[in-house]
Amino acid sequence: MNSKDNQGPLWEVFIQSKPGLPYKHAGSLHAYDKAMAIDNARDVYTRRKEGVGLWVVPSDQIVSVQPKDAEAFFDPADDKVYRHPTFYTMPEGAQHI
């Protein structure tokens, strides 16, 4: 990136659409600081009342799993079917369980 004439760092935008719902990734934008990032996020991503809550996070602060590592990374969850309720056999006639 040209450091003398650029659009500022990249931020990721998360919107909460209704109180109580989780924040969901909406997209990204460029801004030079926090105030500009949150203002721009409002103008770019919530022009039609899409949200009641808004987060902006500098993109370079997000830690993520690389796709090539994903299989090994999530592997520990692969063989533990006993974590799901359907694993267990219930006696005939058992109710509310």
Partner 1 sequence: MHFKKLEEEDPKKLEAFQARIDAEERIEPKDWMPDAYRYHNIRQISQHAHSEVIGMQPEGNWLTRAPSLRSKKILLAKIQDEAGHGLYLYCAAETLGVSRDTYIQWLHEGKAKYSSIFNYPTLNWADMGAIGWLVDGAAIVNQVSLTRTSYGPYARAMVRICKEESFHQRQGYEIMTRMMNGTKEQRQMAQDALDRFWWPSLMMFGPHDTDSPRSKLALQWKIKRATNDELRQKFIDKTIPQAELIGLKIPDPELELQADGSYKTGEINWEEFYNVIKGNGPCNRERLAHHREAHARGAWVRKACTAFNEKYKGELVLN
Residues within the interface to partner 1 (CB under 8 A): 1-10, 26-30, 32-36, 38, 43-45, 47-48, 64, 66-68
Given the complex with partner 1, which of 18 and 83 has the nearer CB atom?
Answer: 18
Given the complex with partner 1, which of 3 and 89 has the nearer CB atom?
Answer: 3
Cβ–Cβ < 8 Å for 53, 10: no
Cβ–Cβ < 8 Å for 41, 32: no
Question: Rounded to whole angstroms, how far apart are CA atoms 33 and 15?
Answer: 19
Question: What does the DSSP 8-state code read for residue 5?
Answer: S
| Least distance to partner 1, CB of residue 71, Å | 13
Given the complex with partner 1, which of 25 and 52 has the nearer CB atom?
Answer: 25
